[in-house]
Structure 1
């Protein structure tokens, strides 16, 4: 089995050769750099030679034509619907040699992933939940438009001069679409990919654990659960357990936002003292 996986990976590398820097796509977009390869697409920074502005260009992976084409079409449709200052604009979409491409607004700034793992930034409890509150304001707009993001991870949240942005709507779906798009038996993946607002809350629960673990310093060698390792207030633990669906989960974003707001207000009032160690 490992041999076949290695062979398949080798074949993918042959077919999925990213564009080289300097190449002009669709007679308009000059590739500057390759940002990375995702589930269905390869993402680049490119210069629009008409406007002389930098943009994000996303190319569908050649080996993902079946699901990838649908994903690209849905992403374009969703971005055309959403008009929010903290969500990238869709500028253009086109096909080159049968391969769909999207052109989007470039959001400069740093991803939470880079802040945590490259710069070593730490997020104490209060700052973590304040950031969550800012994210929820954008997610509320997304949900109000009948859309679920389904990929709210640390690489897809950007901070720019204190403002938060959500990017990469490649896995986003309309809430009217039913079911899950995979048959994976892993519970975590099912919860992340469910076409339900709860999947965004679940993903943000894990997002919060990344933030909160940034201040964690192990005192014992054995690995324990987050509830045993993190020093959190009762309110924070309550919110996280519901987001992660350990307890009865939140059904709508207003419930989650209200609880986070109450926690932040207690910090303001000096009332968050009962920390669990």
Structure 2
């Protein structure tokens, strides 16, 4: 870490990297610094993955995704600097703050997340890690973080067989993001559930949901016919929201 950034706190730590809250001594603003673990710096593959993450972050320009300001490396360390979003991630809000989300509120959050995923997919970027620790909620606005597992698909191959293979991989990554959105929605919906049975039941029996929300979840989670596009998801999502608004 160079002398420009003063470490205030460790705000995240995993096998891959360490995330610090820092003070930028030049701008006097708080920044988030993600550093590749020193033990990973000996691996060419790990360095390439980290640089790929930086490359993806540099290509993004969305108000609900952190801005990357700086990236640096030498033989001992690799890190990049991004904007600090003041807020708690969904995991902490749900499990530490015991925040609850009603059906309508959950659908509205999903709608905003869907817009973010659509933005990424239009850039051929697939997040592949849409989990509650990677969503920060600030003033009911979801912000998407951690692009460590993200992939940007390559330009299509002129070879027919390779093109078909590429298309198959892209569809798989799309469906992974759609499935993750379904799991996120389920997490939000379960925050208002209090178990009355000792025996765990399927969510279809435990949760009392509008028909449109059940249909949305079943297709996102690939229980029923999987979605093929964001437009399809959006249409069903807005229909579910409309139905929920009519009830109330």
DSSP-derived class of the 2:9 partner: strand
Report the equivalent of 2:31: 55
Report the equivalent of 1:207: 184
CA displacement 1:9-28 (0-9 Å, x = unmatched): xxxxxxxxxxxxxxxx2121
Determine the C-alpha separation between the residues in 1 that align with 2:198 and 2:154.
47
Q: 1:260 to 1:39 in 2, by over 3 A?
A: farther
TM-score by length of 2: 0.88
DSSP-derived class of the 1:232 partner: coil
Determine the C-alpha separation between the residues in 2 that align with 1:127 and 1:248.
25
Determine the C-alpha separation between the residues in 2 that align with 1:31 and 1:124.
38
How far did 1:59 drift?
A: 0.7
How far did 1:135 drift?
A: 0.8
DSSP-derived class of the 1:199 partner: helix
Q: 1:270 to 1:134 in 2, by over 3 A?
A: same
Consecutive aligned runs of 4 or more in structure 1 exceeding 4 Å deviation: none
Equivalent positions of 1:2-41 (< 5 A) are: 25-41=1-17
Determine the C-alpha separation between the residues in 2 that align with 1:60 and 1:149.
19
Which one is further off, 65-74 or 154-163?
A: 65-74
Q: How many residues align?
A: 233
Uncovered stretches (5+) of structure 2, i.e. residues with no partner: 157-170
Q: For the Cα contact (< 8 Å) 1:148–1:195, is it kept in 2?
A: no
Q: For the Cα contact (< 8 Å) 2:8–2:20, is it kept in 1?
A: yes
Match of 1:235 among 212, 215, 226: 212
DSSP-derived class of the 1:219 partner: coil
Uncovered stretches (5+) of structure 1, i.e. residues with no partner: 1-24, 179-193, 272-277
Q: For the Cα contact (< 8 Å) 2:212–2:243, is it kept in 1?
A: no
Determine the C-alpha separation between the residues in 1 that align with 2:124 and 2:240.
28
